[in-house]
Amino acid sequence: MSRRTIEDLMKRIREELRAEGPDTAGYSDFIVIDAINSAIADLSEVFPVRDTIELTTEVGQNTYDLSNYTIFDIIKVEYNGSLINGYPLKDYLDLSIKDEGPVNRWVLWGNYLIFIGEVDEAVTVKLWVSRAPSKLEDKGDIPETPSYADEAIIAFALSVCFRESRSYDRANYYYRLYVGQKSNILRRAVPQGQRESLPKMNDSYWKPHRSRRSGVRSDINPGGS
């Protein structure tokens, strides 16, 4: 069985859009792919990807840009074949000398990896990291999220598309579907003992664009006192 691609997700999204009416089929590939990526980004902390990154140093350059990756955590770093330890950022800022002696510490400052010590030319550095799923660009790209997250991704993307066309009722409907599916994914992915420490789901990410008055009111003072 072949692995699903972003094109497979796009087909399912367009089928759902056409099912809603002929006026909802005019979304460009860019809008649909961007909506899928927005969904994956929102689910990224649920599905961190374990990966390795390799880079080659330049002499005298202590700082290296990792902005091509959304890194949640650096597990370990190997410099020239030897493991080196992380160093607290606040302690690094207090160092008066940062680029002398052998490299034996690293610091992550935002998207930048910084080595403490004198960096040599053409040293191989290997990082073991936990990162967000990669952004999808081509129709043949394969999502790094599991297949059971597809329904949530599709619902989120549909909500984005309908919001783009100002169909707010349908946008809010599909976003509520997404919130419920994401909650189910969290219950499936996280052991029971860890759930109390997770952020609570909130369905107010997008505020309603118009309010509706209800004809039914609760009597908060039934006794009249």
What pTM did the predictor assign? 0.70
Distance of alpha carbon 225 from alpha carbon 223, whole angstroms: 5
Q: What is the mean pLDDT of the chain?
A: 83
Model pLDDT, residue 165: 85
Check pLDDT > 80 for residue 111.
yes
Helices (H) and strands (E) in the chain, counts: 5, 7
Look up residue 96 and give its two tokens. Answer: 């008066």
Position 129: which residue type? V
pLDDT in tens, 149-194: 999 999 999 999 999 888 899 999 999 999 999 999 888 765 444 4
Look up residue 50 and give its two tokens. Answer: 């374990």
Model pLDDT, residue 89: 93
CA distances from 124 to 57, 67, 103 (A): 7, 19, 13
* 35 close to 156: Cβ distance less than 8 angstroms: yes
CA distances from 37 to 6, 12, 139, 154, 174 (A): 10, 15, 12, 11, 16
pLDDT in tens, 6-25: 999 999 999 888 876 655 55
Q: How many Cβ atoms sit within 10 Å of the Cβ of residue 67?
A: 9
